[in-house]
Amino acid sequence: MGEFRMPSLGADMTAGTLVQWNVKPGDAVKRGDIIAVVGTEKADIEVEVYETGTIETLIAKPGDKLPVGTPLAFIRVAGEAPGPTLEAAPTPEGAVAKPPRRLRASPMARKLALELGVDLEKIQGTGRGGVIEQHDVEQAAKARVPVPSAPIAPAPAQAATAGMRHAIALAMARSNREIPHYYLSTTIDMSKALAWLEQFNQKRSLEERVLPAALLLKAVATALEQTPELNGFYADDQLKISKEIHLGVAISLRHGGLMIPAILFSGQKSIAELMEALRDLITRARSGRLRSSEITEGTITVTNLGDLGVETVYGVIYPPQVALVGFGNIAERPWADRGMLGVRRTLTATLAADHRATDGHRGAQFLQALDNLLQEPEKL
Amino acid sequence: MTQTEIRQTIFEALRKIAPESEPQQVGPNENLREALDIDSFDFLNFLIGLHQRLGVEIPEADYGKLTTLADLIRYIEARQ
C-alpha cells in the first residue's frame, strides 16, 4: 500500500495545511496527477501524486495542519489486491489518525531524540524504508517551537505576506548559516545575442515573442551541461549532481515576496519552449496555482533583477542547491574592443556558489561558458 | 476610438496584469512600468492585451517608444 504524505515544499517547511482533496476513495490516479492542494506559508500548492493506483483511504481532512512526512492518504498501487476499506477515524481538530507502525530509527536519531526530548513515535522517517534519521529529529525539534500568537489578528493579506516573509527568512537564514558562498561576476557583451533575438522575434507574433530572459535561461542550461557540479544539491556532507537540469526561477509576487518554482527539464527545451514555460510558470506563480514538483525539484536558481535597473545581483543560494545565477540589466555601456572604445549593450552575470561543492575555478568556467554561448546565440 | 476610450482600454489591460494597481492615478508623462512595478514579462502581456483589444500591431522595435500613458495613446491613435 502506498502512502501519500505531506510533502516538503520548501527548504525549511516543517508542516503544511491540507486545503482540499481533488480525489475521493476509489478514484484511479496516475503518477503526476494533482490530487490535493496544500497550504504553506508562501502559497497554496497543487500536490501531485508519485504513484499510479487507486485511492484507498483519505486520512487527513481539509484544514488539518500536519508535519511534513505525515501520511495523508493510502493508495493501492496498480496490481495490488484491495485491502479492507479503512474509514478515517474521527479525530480532534488538527489531529490525524495514524496506522500502527513499528518504530525504526537510526542510533544517531535515537540519541538526538533523547537529547532534544523529541518523541520518535510522532516522527515520520524519511530514510530508506521509513527509517527515522538524524535530520528527521532535527526537523521535528524545530517544528515544535511554539509560535507566539499575535496580539491583534492580522488581515488575511497581511497574514499571507507575514507567512511568506517567515518562510523566506527561514530559508535564507539557513543558507547564510550553512553555505559558504563565493561570488564571481562577468560582464557579457549582449550585442550578438540581442541582434539574433530581434531577428528571431521578427518572424513571430506578439504572443509568441521571446524575451531576453528566456535566451539567458537557455544559455544557463547549456552552460550547466559543461559544468554539472553547479547543478545539484549539497546533502549528507557531499555534492549530489542532478542528471536533469530543472532551472528554478525567482518570481516576485505582486503582493510581496517571491517564489522559486522550477522549469522542469529545462535542458531539453528550446528557447521558444523555455519562453512558453516561463510564461506559464509566472502566470501560475502569481495566481497561486503552482505544483509541488515545480516547488521541490529546482536544481539551481536563476534570478533576474535587470528590469529594475540593477547592475549586479549578489544572490543567496536556495538550500540545498549549490548555486544561483543572477542577471542585471541589459544597457548600453562603454566597451573596449581591440583598442577601440565603443558602446555595446552589456549585462553583468553573477554566480553565487557553494564553496563546499565547487571552487572558484569551476565557477569561472561556468561564467566563461555562459559568455561564449551568448556570443553564438544561433547555436543555442 | 477617442482618446478617452483608448485610455480606458489601456487601463483595462493594465488592471488585467496588475489587479491591485490604480492606473488612473498615474500621470500622463510618468513612466508606466516604474509607477506600476511592471516587469518585462508583464509588459509583454500588457502589449498582448492591447493588441487583442485594439488590433494594433506593436513591433518589438517600438517597445522603447511606449514609456508613458501619453506615448501609448499617441501611438495607438496614429495606428487605428
Identify the structural domains of chain B with CATH numbers, from first to last: 3-79 (1.10.1200.10)
Q: For B33-51, what is the mean pLDDT?
A: 91
| DSSP, res A335 | E
Q: Are residues A80 and A109 in the same domain?
A: no
Last residue of a domain, one of A64, A99, A134: A99
Provide the 3-class DSSP secondary structure of residue A287: coil
The CATH number of whichever domain residue A13 belongs to comes to 2.40.50.100
* Kind of pairing between the strands at A65-67 and A15-21: antiparallel
pLDDT, position A11: 66
Same domain (yes/no): A94, A134: no
Interfacial A residues in 311-340 facing B (CB < 8 Å): none
Residue with cell 488612473: B24
Range of the domain at A370: 179-379
Nearest Cβ partner of B60 from A198, A213, A278? A198
Q: Are A64 and A18 in contact (CB under 8 A)?
A: yes
Provide, as residue numbers in chain B, all residues whose Cβ is less than 8 Å from the Cβ of A282.
41
Contact at CB, A255 and B37, closer than 8 angstroms: no
Q: Digits of tens for pLDDT over chain A (380 positions)?
A: 788 999 888 766 888 999 999 999 999 999 889 999 998 887 889 999 988 999 999 989 999 998 888 899 999 887 776 655 444 434 444 444 344 455 676 656 665 676 666 777 778 888 767 777 777 877 887 776 543 334 445 555 566 677 788 888 888 999 999 999 999 999 999 999 999 999 999 989 999 999 999 999 999 999 999 999 999 999 999 999 999 999 999 999 887 888 999 999 999 999 999 999 999 999 999 888 899 989 889 999 999 999 889 999 999 999 999 999 999 999 999 999 999 999 999 999 999 999 999 999 999 999 999 999 999 999 99
Q: Verify whether the Cβ–Cβ distance A307 to B48 is below 8 Å.
A: no
pLDDT of residue A80: 72
**pLDDT at residue A111, as a whole number:** 59
Phi, psi (deg, nearest 5) at residue A194: -70, -35
Residue A166 in any domain: the answer is no
Are A211 and A340 in the same domain?
A: yes
- Taking the C-alpha atoms of residue A140 and residue A144, their distance in angstroms, rounded to an integer, is 6
Q: Is residue A27 part of a domain?
A: yes
The total domain count for chain A is 3
- Residues A178 and A355: beta-carbon distance below 8 Å: no
Domain co-membership, A138 together with A207: no
Look at residue A150 in the predicted model and tell me its pLDDT.
Answer: 41
How high is the ipTM of this complex?
A: 0.86
Distance from CA of B16 to the nearest CA of A (A): 12
